[in-house]
Structures are given as C-alpha cells and as structure tokens.
Structure 1
Amino acid sequence: MTRIAMLSVHACPLARLGGRDSGGMNVYVRELARQLGRRGIEVDVFTRWREREDPQIQSLGPNARVVHLLSGPIGYYPKMDVYRRLPEFSQRVLDFARDEDRRYDLVHSHYWLSAEVAEVLRSRWRTPVVQMFHTLALVKAQAMDDSMNGEDQVRELAERAAVRTADRIIASSEIELSDLITLYDAEPSKVRVVPLGVDTRLFRPLRQADARAALGRDACEFLILFVGRIEQIKGIDVLLEAIGDLLRGRPDLKRRTCLVVVGGAIDPRIDGSESEKIAELQAMVDAHGIGENVDFVGSLEQPELALYYSAADVCAVPSLTESFGLVALEAMACGTPVVATRVGGLQTVVTSESGVLVPPGDAEALAHAIESLLDDMELRIQLAAGARARAVTFTWDRVADGVEDIYSELLTPARAGISK
C-alpha cells in the first residue's frame, strides 16, 4: 500500500474555517486526504499542535489521519514564529516515523512553510516531493501593491527553492501555472494543473425560503453574502464601500437589503486580534451609514455555511488575489450567482453563465454588478442554474484522480509501495 506524508505545517485540516490561517487550503488538504484514503492510499497529515483539546492523532476516514506535532508550546503562532521552529517540526516528523516504524513513499507539501520540512524529509527518506503553494508571495505583493517586507522576502526565497527542488508542482489553475513560470522560473514540465473541488452533496441548492427560515433570516428581501478571512486581501473593505455607495444611491434597496459577513472571530476571548479587525470593519460600516444592513456572524461550521449560500441572492468574492477561489465554487454549487473579481483562479471558475467578474479594488464596478443582479430576478435565476451546472464538474474525486496520476509519475514500480 502506498503511504504519503502530507505536510500542512501551519494549517490543520480540521481547524474551524474562516479564522486566522484557516480557509480553502484547510479544506483542500482534508478532502484530498479523505479521497486518497478511500482509494487505499495511506495518508498521514502532519501539522502543528495548535488546539489543546485536540488529540495527537485524529482520523479523517479510512486510511487517512491528522498527526499533531509539538513545535513550540501548543497555541497559535504568527507565520514567522512557525518558520523559526521548522527545524523542530522536521525532527518531530522524523521521530514520529521512527517511533511508529513507518516508511513513506512520497512527501506532499502544502504552502511555503511546509517546503523546508519537505526537503529535510527528502534528504533523510530519499522520497520524491510534490509541492503545492496555494498562494504565492510575489503574486500577493503585486495585488497589494506593497513592497516586500522581511516575512515576504523569506517566503519568496523558500518558494523559489521549492520550485527548483520539487519533483512535481501542483497549480490550481492555468493562471497559477503562468505565475509560476513567469515569476519563479518554474520548469513547465514539472508543473501539473489540478483544479480544486467541492462537496456537491453538502453544498447543493436548497429552497431559498427554507434556508432563510432555518437561519432566521426572513427580514431582508435581498441577502448579499461574503465568506472569507477578515483580511484586506479578501477585499472586504472594498465590498463595504460598494454596499455603502449602492444603498446611499438606492434608498429603495436600503430598506430591503442585508449583507452577511461570514468569517473571523467575533468573541475576543476566542481571538482578540480577529475581533479587533471586525471592530474596525464595524466602524467602517457605521461611517457608510449601513449599520442596520450589515451583520458579522463570525466563523461557521460547513453545514450552516451551506444554508447561508442557499439563503443568499448573491455571493460577493471581492478578493484582490485568489489562486483558485473555493468560496465562489461553494456558492455556485448551492446555485447562488457570484460577483467576483477578475483575478487569479476566479477567472477560471466564474464564467458569464454563473456570475459576473469585475476589476479588483473597484468599489463602483462591484456595486454596479451587485445592483444589476438584485434588479433582475430572471438573470439571477439564469445564473443560478449555470452556477450549479458548472460547479458539479469540480469534484474532489476528480482532484484525487489528478493527484494520484502525479503520484504515479513519481512512484516507479520499484519505488511504489515500499512502505509495505
């Protein structure tokens, strides 16, 4: 049986979504590991031990599990603190494999923080390495129009090293492939494009009235939804400006429209810095005069999130950059039209049959696109059908097909199954 050491150093696949350092990558690692496990591939996902109540080993399903490893005291660490403890984390992985008498056929690394650990394991185990970045430092810097700070410079160097040394690199879209080649000089023959997937059984169309009733969201005629981490790169400030401008110019909509923001921690006892970000956004909401229209609900479990997608008339994804755009795909799977920015992988997910694309950072264009959908029920119905039809072509089973093919390229008959 093939055995994979999957690395997700800073992001546990079982973490509550929408908080700090938890989002689409966590979902990806969790769902991929589960799919591979169902196919008879053993997967151990190694991640930092961040929550005290978590056991060291948690099952993800048949043949797949999460292994929490100490790397500094248990708790949240900023990324650079995680980076400084990577040698300790690497040793913990090696110790675990030795103590369990486990041999791995391949290392699959996620994000730049895992790349250095992957190289340590490669040198000790003589295994091939597959790398997926999920986001890239240079793309983020371009989107934010920022100069590179110390963390960004360390990250860029780590990404460049991984691009050079990884046996295969997985890109989630053709656009990410292009970024890897043009910005990082990646060898095209090493890169494979495997789009993300969505659980179409969980994220499926429900009758809007039923979803709103279940959530107690009957007060507003129109519901606009934002889902994501409370970070500038997700464009939440641009969305608030757009909603403010829209509702000021359309008093008829102001009385009938709500914006629900899913993500972040509302309770400072859970995450003080996250709650501070939400407080700053609340001040922005008040400045725009839309306090009665906007509701911050914090992070949600996925079944409740699926209800919100179905309850919404429009899902706004105003990100400044996205390597793929899983939120857009989840909304589409629920039959909800998407207004998204024309950046990164969102351009390959959202089509004219499933939503509307606008320039990033353009509050006026975002407001106009949302307004056009709220004013046209027939268009919303048409896009809802197109959204679901497109989303069902993106399944986790297809993701596992693509990843398993990559593993097969690297695991020769003599190499595959050495873990037996």
Structure 2
Amino acid sequence: MAEIYGPSEYEYTERDLALYALGVGATREDLRWVYENDENFAPLPTFGVVPPFNTMMETPFGDFLPGFNPMMLLHGEQYLELHHPAPTSGKLITTGKIVDIVDKGKGVVVVMGTTTKDEEGNVIYYNEFSNFIRGVKNVGNKSGKDRGPATASNDPPNRKPDAIVQEKTTENQAALYRLSGDTNPLHIDPNMSSIGGFDVPILHGLCSFGISAKHVLKHFGESDGSKVKSIKARFSKHVFPGETLQTEMWKEGNKVIYQVRVLERDAIAISNAALVFHGDANDASASAGGAAEASAPAGVSAPGFKASPVFEALKAAIESGSEEERKARVGKTKALFQFNLTTSPSSEPTSWTVDLKNGLGSVNLGPAKNPDATVIVSDDDFVALAAGKANAQKLFMGGKLKVKGQMMLAMKLDSVLQEARKKAKL
C-alpha cells in the first residue's frame, strides 16, 4: 500500500478566495470571484490546487529521490477534479500519496495524488501534481501509468480555434499569486531563479493554469464554476511576468481542448489541456440575451418557501386581462426581474423570474438570462414586503435587501407587487 502523507489542514476565508482570483487576473468586473457580498460569490474552480500545498510541502521527496534539489523541480502537468462545491470559508483537509514515478533519463517525473475533503468528510477536490525533477537518474519505471483523463493527450482538432482570448500578465503577477500559498522562491528571488537556470523569476505554472481556465470558463461556461468537472494541463514552456497569454480553444462536446501561447515569444506555454464540463459547453458569444430561461410548466411554488403563494398570485395577476392589457403592462414596466430568496443565512438561494419585458409577461420558477435587476432578500422579508408590512428602502439601508443590476428598475417593484396584492390576501 502506498504511503499516505498528511493529513494537513488548510483554513481560509472569503478574503483568500478573492486574493487567489486577483492573482490569476480576475478584476473588479468579476464580482462573483472577488467580492464576498456578490450573490454568486464562489471560488474559481482552479482554487482547488491551493489547499493541497501544505501536503506537498510536507512530503519528504528526498527520502525516495537521491540528490533531490527543490530548485531543480519544474511543474510538468496538473490534473484537477471537482467533486463537491467548496464552501466560501472554512477548513479543508488534504491527504496525499505517490501515484507514479517515471524515469525520463535526464530526470524523473513524480506524480502525487491528493484528496481534499471538508470537515464533514465530503470530497471537494482531487489533484494530481506531475513534477519533473531534473538531475535525478535511475529512479522509477520507464513508462507512466494510464490514469484516464489525468493522462489524456488532448490534442487540438485540425481546424482553427473556436475561440481565442488574450490577457497580458503584469510584472507583479508572480509576486501577487505566491500569496495564495505557492511560495517557491524560484518565482520571486532572482538569485534562486538563476540556480534553476532562469535569468529572472518565472511565473508559476499554476498561475497560467488559473488564467487560462478562467478564459475557458468565461467563454464556454458562463463563468459558473459549478459546471466544471475537471481540468488538465501540461506546462510546456515557462512564462515571464508581464508577457501576454493567448488561450486558443476548441469545443468538443462537453470538453474544451485548449492551449496557451506566449505572444511575445510565439511559444506554447500550456499544451494538451482540456476543461471538461458536466454538460455540453456553451458558446457565450452565441447565447441570446434578454429572455428568461425556459422553465417547467408546473407552477411557481418551491417547497419550504412562504413566498410561493406570492409568486402564484403574481403569476395570476400578470397573466390576467386581455392581450392588449398584458402588452400595456409589459410596455409600462420594461424590466426582467430575478428574485433570489433564502430561507436561512446559510441556505442556497432559490430563484424566480418575473418577466415584464418580453411578450405578454410571465412568472417562472428558476433564474433568468441576463436579468435587468436581481433582488436578493430572505423569504420572510420578501413576504412582508409583498404584504405591505415592510418598507423596501429600510430593508435596503439595513442590508437585508440587495439589488444587483439596474438599481432604478427596482423602484418599480412596489407596483409589480401591488399586482399580487390585488389577486390575493397577503
């Protein structure tokens, strides 16, 4: 049985998630990754490579690699699986084991597998770190194990990329990214990088990994990390901070094969890469905006929500009257609303769509595509608001009601809710 290393603990807060996202190039426009109060705040999928670092650092490579020098270690490949949604703060526990050691002649590839769980024992991430250690000889086997997706070649199709995204890294990219836990001096200390054979410190391979996966997720996954099943990449060439990365993507069903080119040197930094979605990948450039997503025609009630009768009444009100009256109602409001309600501070939100922008108007259970305004509020406060027993301005000023999108459209909410009051005793 392979020796188990760890367990090691990793405690983090929302601040650590935002710091990681900034380290891989997220901006203030990416609120779901950098702002803890955003309704969709969640870790970037590639944050999953961070919690295992304590286990990696505690693994005694010198015990089984004679003459091991950490300055001669280069990250060769990375494979990441996402199993269960990671909390936005808490404690994660990682254990690791050596999966394979491959003799490459001029060095060895050591593959370490790590499993990261939350405090309840749910598997959150599985990683395989493939590290090439130069100068170590006559250790390991001559051919690596076939580990399925972790060793897939992911060769690009013989056609032009389906999508291309460019992003210029900053001179301080490595200095910022290292604050998330990868403190190898190779990436910041010129004296140490020169020992590794580089005139100046290079960018972390996992930073390029995060930047490029972010590109794929934005273009084909609507920036929704919950859609990601796995990510794999090979680090073919180094990147210097300040260089421009171009991610070239090919959509193949639920897999997006990609590679990353350094434009200044026309060098492929990441190859044989793929991001696999749970479902078919979507092309963000081809998606239609404005209309609400289709939902099942089974009413608008959600189990456990006091607000269900409110939306049932609102649905009846909006769908009442002649076609001309309904068109006039939509023409007066001209807004697509999404309501995100929770039954407790720790519960996941349930969404309703109130469409007073398209067609004759409608109310559906489920999220909207590109809503004009999203209202975030508790189930109890929404019911009180709908019944006229709570003041929207006071809820807003007290932080109990949040509005994302066009704030002025939220001013029309009271007239919208009045439609429900006319149809039911709330």
Considering Cα pairs closer than 8 Å and 6+ residues apart, tell me whether 1 or 2 has the greater RCO: 1
Larger Rg: 2
TM range (shorter): under 0.3
TM-score by length of 1: 0.24
Higher-helix-fraction structure: 1
